[in-house]
């Protein structure tokens, strides 16, 4: 039997080889060149594939037997290749029949680029070697010759190359066309750095999960939770059988998702050109969120009730019925309106997170919120027996509401702190902020222990002897709040609080620090061991990570200054796109930058430039201001300049985000390094960058 299977397998490969000879090459190649500046060129080898066919990646994975594309350029004294060939396209990674492990390949199209130095007009000749496959067979490897004609070598720096591409082994003709002269040296160049554009898949997925989490949390708020058993019971009792009830509940849930998805879609259009990011990071918006969260926090504590106009809910309720999808949709819309007072805080927090994500982030975030909010309605319709447990609500719902009130108050002061840091008001210095959070956490613990009571609270349950007692769940939350309060307390005297370092104001705003010897010092005004004399250093001294100030790293804060320093010091540049109010940026600084091996590399081997994208209160000189096509406005502040650079040059608008370049703006890594609080991964990335820089510097 085994011999028969082997013979059959060999026969199948033989048949495949026969058919491969009659299948035409499914690729179409074009070759061109683009002048970047002076003698620097970018050679482009573009491949278009027929549907269902693919090319293996340069690193194909699998069992090591896959044939990746290879590009051989004929030797020419006027041609000097710089670095390795890069690939760009939509990479697909999956298991492939007949191979072991995960393979990597490209379908539809793929672009290969090769940097080169060309000093005179030449004809570049070479050969590309590749193999194409579909999901059932691979064709024989192919060698295809190509040539590219360079006609503008040695011309002006302001010459731009326009390549004329034709299918298969074509000649690219370059012509000179003038472009507008760059008015100021500090104006970001219009040529984007090469390499892979930033991908939004991870951030969109995380926003979807965060939205689902917010929707699930909103379920346990009183105004939503109270409607859950009532609505599901209504479905099951008003329909002819249980199957119809489940169908109606499913339609109801889908309607909730559609409502929030439409809201997210509306915000997606608003989010064009970083508008949502600029609005959310503005100090005025943070003040607005501070006031909103204070109002909702006080309302959750029982001071008053917040409701939308009664006409809205009355109108939607009049349209609701179970006889049509539109009626069920209006029932879902009624839920969204009636539950506004409980869902609004979650939506507000979601909007703040969305502003840091991808361009279509609102759609993913609000769709996730709708899924989280709708999911329990379908589950309880499928498992109605669980409704019995929900009828024993007791007074715990109000306790949940009050708990959310305390949390809302704490988050409100975080928004106020963001505005305070941006504007430099120094209203909420580090110790004041910590004191506020300590008191709020302590008050929450006392409330959960039953020591503090509000007018709407129910009596605690009583045991067999008539004595009030705490449930285990309530006790655990009370202890957690108490532990958190006392964890924050040492921060009043300058303790680092690394676990909360991303949320509290930076140490530079601390007015009093108790040192290990028992002496005290003024944290905000203490002399730093290293005086940073770079431009804008005084504006950012209070925001700099503690590890930077203690160990004296010479950080830059202007993009063009970093390029000059890189050229003079012969070091690669680490672009740190960050924000004054960026929580994950602080996590990276406290958990990754503080690592001894990471910081040693950053300080000794890199030009580190921290580009604060929300520094809108720091104006750049009038002579350096310019009109941004991307932002659609005049760039006047340093924050606008930095977000314009990040978006236009590096196709990204999220923080933290790290790009590594040389003094000529060539990317030194295939992709950016985004939020990943693993020192080991960051060290490995830095070492790859240093190796690439050494290769390009030869």
Rounded to an integer, the average pLDDT of 337-355 is 63
pLDDT score of 625: 92
| Chain centroid to CA 289 | 22
Tokens of 240: 């002819």
C-beta of residue 29 within 8 angstroms of C-beta of residue 47:
yes
Task: Assign 380 a pLDDT band (cuts: 50, 70, 90).
Answer: confident
Tokens of 557: 């804060």
Check residue 677 and report its DSSP letter. Answer: -
What CATH number was assigned to the domain covering residues 527-696?
3.40.30.10
User: β-strands 633-635, 626-628: how paired?
Assistant: antiparallel
Task: In whole angstroms, give the CA distance from residue 163 to residue 148.
Answer: 10
Sign of CA dihedral 606, 612, 617, 620: positive
pLDDT score of 319: 57
pLDDT score of 170: 35
Q: Is pLDDT of 179 > 50?
A: no
pLDDT mean across residues, the chain: 77
Domain boundaries, the chain: 24-178, 201-391, 527-696
- Other Cβ atoms within 10 Å of 660 Cβ, number: 23
Q: Strand, helix or coil at 82? A: strand
C-beta of residue 381 within 8 angstroms of C-beta of residue 249:
yes
531 burial via Cβ count (<10 Å: 0-12, 13-18, 19+): exposed
> Is it true that the peptide bond before 656 is cis, omega within 30 degrees of 0?
yes
Task: Assign 278 a pLDDT band (cuts: 50, 70, 90).
Answer: low
User: β-strands 123-130, 142-149: how paired?
Assistant: antiparallel
Query: Which range has the top average pLDDT, 147-151, 462-466, 689-693?
Result: 689-693
Rounded to an integer, the average pLDDT of 604-618 is 91
- E strand segments, 558-680: 573-578, 607-612, 626-628, 633-635, 657-661, 673-674
Q: Is pLDDT of 233 > 70?
A: no
Task: In whole angstroms, give the CA distance from residue 81 to residue 58.
Answer: 18
Rounded to an integer, the average pLDDT of 217-227 is 69
Backbone angle region of 468, left / alpha / beta, with phi > 0 → left and psi within -120 to 50 → alpha: beta
Q: Is pLDDT of 446 > 90?
A: yes
Q: Strand, helix or coil at 570? A: coil
pLDDT digits (tens, 9 = 90+) for 481-499: 999 999 999 988 888 887 7
Task: In whole angstroms, give the CA distance from residue 177 to residue 160.
Answer: 6
pLDDT digits (tens, 9 = 90+) for 513-532: 775 545 555 444 444 456 88
Percent of the chain with pLDDT over 70: 73
Q: Is pLDDT of 640 > 50?
A: yes
Alpha helix ranges (H) inside 491-636: 537-540, 546-551, 559-569, 583-588, 596-605
- E strand segments, 156-233: 159-160, 177-178
Closest CA to 198 of 614, 659, 528, 662: 659
pLDDT score of 445: 95
Task: In whole angstroms, give the CA distance from residue 326 to residue 636.
Answer: 49
pLDDT digits (tens, 9 = 90+) for 3-22: 434 443 443 444 343 333 45
> CA distances (Å), 607 to each of 184, 350, 367, 570, 595, in order?
23, 35, 41, 9, 18
Query: Which range has the top average pLDDT, 92-101, 186-195, 561-570?
Result: 561-570
Rounded to an integer, the average pLDDT of 24-44 is 88
C-beta of residue 320 within 8 angstroms of C-beta of residue 343:
no
C-beta of residue 281 within 8 angstroms of C-beta of residue 387:
no
- Other Cβ atoms within 10 Å of 57 Cβ, number: 20
Closest CA to 23 of 108, 117, 142: 142
pLDDT digits (tens, 9 = 90+) for 238-268: 666 778 778 888 888 898 899 888 888 887 6
Q: Is pLDDT of 37 > 70?
A: yes
Check residue 210 and report its DSSP letter. Answer: H
Q: Is pLDDT of 694 > 80?
A: yes
Rounded to an integer, the average pLDDT of 675-686 is 91
Task: In whole angstroms, give the CA distance from residue 200 to residue 208.
Answer: 12
Contacts of 537 (CB under 8 A, 6+ apart): 555, 557
For the chain, what is the radius of gyration of the CA atoms?
31
Query: Which range has the top average pLDDT, 97-101, 477-481, 650-654?
Result: 477-481
Closest CA to 27 of 108, 90, 89: 108
610 burial via Cβ count (<10 Å: 0-12, 13-18, 19+): buried
- Mean pLDDT is lowest, of 152-161, 225-234, 418-427, for 152-161
Q: Is pLDDT of 317 > 70?
A: no
Q: Is pLDDT of 370 > 70?
A: yes
Closest CA to 670 of 197, 40, 204: 197
Task: In whole angstroms, give the CA distance from residue 226 to residue 229.
Answer: 7
Fold of 24-178: Immunoglobulin-like (2.60.40)
C-beta of residue 494 within 8 angstroms of C-beta of residue 523:
yes
Task: In whole angstroms, give the CA distance from residue 591 to residue 93.
Answer: 31
Percent of the chain with pLDDT over 90: 24
- Other Cβ atoms within 10 Å of 286 Cβ, number: 23
How many residues are recorded in the chain? 698
In DSSP notation, 147-172 reads EEE---TT--TTEE------SSS---
Closest CA to 477 of 561, 402, 546, 538: 402
Instruction: Sheet containing 657-661: give its strands across.
Output: 607-612, 573-578, 657-661, 673-674
Task: Assign 167 a pLDDT band (cuts: 50, 70, 90).
Answer: very low
Within 13 Å of residue 211, how many CA atoms lie on the same side as its CB?
Answer: 27
Q: Strand, helix or coil at 30? A: strand
Rounded to an integer, the average pLDDT of 619-638 is 87
Q: Is pLDDT of 32 > 70?
A: yes
């Amino acid at each position: 039997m085994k011999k028969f299977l082997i013979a059959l397998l060999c026969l199948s490969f033989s048949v495949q080889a026969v058919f491969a000879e009659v299948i035409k090459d499914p690729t179409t190649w074009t070759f061109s060149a683009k002048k970047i500046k002076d003698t620097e060129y970018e050679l482009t080898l573009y491949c278009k594939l027929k549907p269902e066919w693919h090319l293996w990646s340069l690193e194909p994975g699998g069992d090591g037997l896959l044939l990746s594309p290879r590009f051989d350029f004929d030797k020419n004294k006027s041609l000097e290749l710089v670095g390795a060939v890069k690939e760009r396209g939509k990479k697909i990674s999956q298991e492939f029949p007949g191979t072991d492990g995960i393979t990597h390949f490209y379908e539809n199209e793929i672009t290969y680029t090769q940097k080169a130095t060309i000093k005179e007009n030449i004809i570049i000749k070479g050969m590309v070697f590749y193999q194409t496959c579909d999901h059932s067979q691979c064709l024989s490897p192919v060698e295809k010759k190509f040539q590219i004609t360079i006609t503008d070598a040695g011309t002006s720096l302001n010459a731009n190359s326009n390549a004329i591409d034709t299918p298969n082994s074509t000649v690219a003709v370059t012509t000179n066309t003038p472009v507008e002269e760059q008015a100021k040296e500090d104006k970001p160049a219009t040529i984007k750095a090469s390499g892979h554009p930033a991908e939004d898949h991870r951030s969109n997925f995380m926003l979807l999960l965060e939205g689902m989490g917010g929707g699930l949390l909103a379920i346990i708020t009183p105004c939503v939770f109270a409607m859950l058993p009532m609505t599901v019971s209504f479905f099951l009792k008003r329909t002819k059988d249980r199957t119809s009830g489940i169908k109606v509940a499913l339609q109801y849930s889908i309607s909730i998702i559609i409502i929030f998805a439409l809201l997210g879609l509306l915000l997606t259009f608003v989010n064009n050109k970083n508008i949502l990011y600029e609005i959310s990071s503005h100090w005025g918006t943070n003040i607005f969120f501070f006031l909103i969260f204070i109002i909702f926090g006080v309302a959750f504590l029982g001071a008053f009730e917040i409701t939308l106009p009664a006409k809205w809910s009355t109108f939607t309720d009049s349209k609701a019925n179970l006889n049509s999808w539109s009626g069920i949709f209006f029932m879902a819309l009624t839920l969204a309106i009636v539950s506004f007072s409980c869902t609004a805080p979650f939506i507000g927090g979601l909007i703040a997170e969305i502003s840091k994500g991808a361009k279509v982030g609102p759609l993913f975030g609000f769709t996730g919120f709708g899924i989280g909010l709708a999911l329990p309605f379908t589950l309880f319709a499928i498992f109605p027996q669980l409704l019995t447990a929900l009828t024993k609500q007791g007074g715990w719902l109000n306790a949940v509401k009050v708990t959310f009130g305390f949390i809302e108050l704490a988050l409100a002061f975080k928004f106020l702190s963001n505005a305070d840091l941006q504007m430099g008001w120094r209203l909420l210095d580090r110790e004041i902020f910590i004191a506020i959070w300590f008191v709020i956490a302590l008050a929450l613990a006392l409330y959960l222990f039953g020591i503090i009571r509000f007018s709407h609270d129910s009596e605690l349950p009583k045991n067999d002897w008539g004595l009030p007692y705490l449930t285990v769940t309530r006790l655990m939350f009370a202890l957690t709040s108490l532990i958190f309060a006392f964890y924050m307390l040492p921060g009043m005297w300058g303790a680092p609080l690394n676990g909360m370092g991303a949320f509290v104001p930076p140490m530079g705003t601390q007015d009093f620090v108790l040192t290990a010897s028992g002496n005290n010092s003024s944290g905000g005004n203490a002399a730093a061991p290293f005086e940073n004399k770079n431009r804008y250093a005084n504006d950012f001294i209070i925001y700099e990570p503690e590890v930077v100030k203690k160990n004296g790293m010479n950080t830059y804060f202007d993009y063009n200054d970093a390029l000059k320093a890189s050229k003079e010091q012969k070091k690669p540049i680490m672009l740190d796109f960050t924000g004054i109010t960026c929580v994950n940026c602080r996590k990276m600084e406290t958990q990754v930058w503080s690592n001894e091996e990471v910081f040693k590399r950053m300080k000794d081997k890199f030009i580190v430039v921290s580009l604060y994208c929300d520094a809108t209160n720091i104006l750049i000189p009038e002579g350096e201001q310019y009109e941004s096509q991307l932002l659609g406005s005049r760039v006047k502040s340093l924050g606008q300049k930095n977000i314009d650079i990040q978006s236009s040059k590096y196709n990204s608008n999220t923080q933290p985000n790290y790009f590594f370049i040389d003094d000529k703006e060539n990317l030194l890594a295939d992709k950016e390094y985004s939020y990943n609080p693993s020192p080991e991964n960051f060290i490995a990335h830095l070492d790859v960058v240093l190796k690439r820089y050494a290769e390009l510097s030869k």
